[in-house]
Chains A and B, each alone.
Chain A
C-alpha cells in the first residue's frame, strides 16, 4: 500500500510509528458511510480517501483509537495486534 503522505525523498525525517501499535483499527465497510469523520480527526493522517471510499493505511498508524471513538456509525473496531 502506498504512503498516505508522499516521502520527501532523501533528507525527510520519518519515524516508524507503526511499530508502536498494540491495537489496530479495522473498518467494517458494510457499516461505513464514507462520511470522512475518521479522516478529519486522525492525528497521524493515516486515513485517506480513494475517490469516495475512505480507507485506513497501517504504514504509520499508532493505534490511538480516535477514529473508532469518532465514527458516528461505530464502523471501526480496535483489534489487538497479534505477533
Chain B
C-alpha cells in the first residue's frame, strides 16, 4: 500500500473542525499521525497548540473518534507509560499508544518524563511536533528555538538580535537513550513521513519509539499560511533539519549533498527577517556542523 493509498483511504480520526491557525504544520502532523495510527489507539496530547485547537475536545466533548487524554505539560511520557502498561496487562497489546506533544512539552518541561520513559523502554510512539517555541501562549522562546529567531521573549532590537543561544538537538539526545526507534521527519516529505510513522508504530510494540517532526508555524514565525510546506521543504533542503532514522543502533540518513544556502531558507520568514550576514553565517555553521555529525553517525 503506497503512502497515497493510506492517505486516501484510511479514515480520519481527528475532528474536521479544529481551531488551529490557517496553514498550521502541527495540525497536518497531528491529523496524519492519528490517521495512520487509526481508531484502535489511545492518544495523549498535552497542553499546547494542538490541545488548545480542540484535539482533546472541550468540556464533555472529545476531539477525535478514539480515546484521547490531556496529561499535564510535563508528564506526557510517564502518563502514557502507565496507560501502555495497563493495556498490556489486560492483553490489549494491539492498541497503539501514541503521544503527540509540542517541543515545550517534550524538550523543556516534559523532558524529564520523556527521558525516563525512553530509558525504561516504555512501549509507545512519542511524536514531537517542533514549532520552535511556545506558540500557543504567544510565541515565547523554547530550548529548540533556533539561534537568531525573533520571539516575544527574545525580540530582535537594539539590545539583542533574536535568540542568542543555539537550538537543543533533541532527537539525537533521544537516540542516545538506545531506544527502539528514533527518527526525524518533515511534513513536506510525506512519503518519508508516512513510512516513519508506520515504522514507529511497529517499533512501539517492542519499545520506545520517538519521531521528531519539523512543524512550520505561519502565525508565530511570520510567513504566509500557504507557504508552510514550502518552508518545511526549504528547512530540509538547507540541512537546517536533516532527515535521519536510527533503529537499535543502525543509522540511516536521507543525504543531501547540495544544500541550498541559509539565506534561501530564511527568505520570507518573519522571525529571521532582521538577521545580518554574520548571523546567517553562524546559523549556517551550526547547521553544517550538525549535518556533518549526523552524516558521520550514519556512515557505514
Contact = CB atoms under 8 A, between A and B. Distances in A.
Interface of A: 3-6, 8, 11-17, 20, 36, 39-46, 48-49, 59-60, 62-66, 68-70, 78
Contacts of A78: 226
Contact of B228 (A14, A20, A64): A64
A44 B27 contact: yes
Contacts of B225: 64-66
Nearest to B229: A41
B22 A62 contact: yes
Contacts of B54: 13, 15
A13 B62 contact: yes
Contacts of B190: 40-41
Interface residues of B, number: 41
Given A41-B187, A44-B16, A69-B227, 14 more contacts: A8-B65, A11-B57, A13-B17, A13-B57, A14-B16, A15-B15, A15-B18, A17-B19, A36-B4, A36-B7, A41-B190, A41-B229, A62-B22, A64-B23
Contacts of A43: 20, 23-25, 27-28, 31, 228
Contacts of B19: 15, 17
Given A12-B65, A69-B229, A5 B12 contact: yes
Contact of A12 (B15, B20, B35): B15
A12 B227 contact: no
Interface in B217-231: 224-230
Contacts of A16: 17
Given A36-B8, A43-B20, A49-B8, A65 B63 contact: no
Given A36-B7, A49-B8, A68-B226, A11 B60 contact: yes
Contact of A39 (B7, B61, B188, B228): B7
A12 B28 contact: no
B16 A65 contact: no
A35 to B, nearest CB: 8
A65 B190 CA distance: 18
A49 B6 CA distance: 11
A74 to B, nearest CB: 13
A5 B39 CA distance: 13
A40 B4 contact: yes
9 shortest A-B CB distances, which residue pairs?
A: A65-B226, A5-B12, A15-B17, A64-B23, A43-B28, A13-B61, A13-B57, A64-B22, A5-B16
B151 to A, nearest CB: 23
Given A43-B20, A64-B226, A14 B7 contact: no
Contacts of B122: none
Given A12-B62, A17-B19, A36-B4, A4 B12 contact: yes
Contact of A66 (B11, B65, B226): B226
Contacts of B175: none
9 contacts: A6-B11, A8-B62, A12-B61, A12-B63, A15-B18, A17-B17, A41-B28, A44-B16, A60-B16
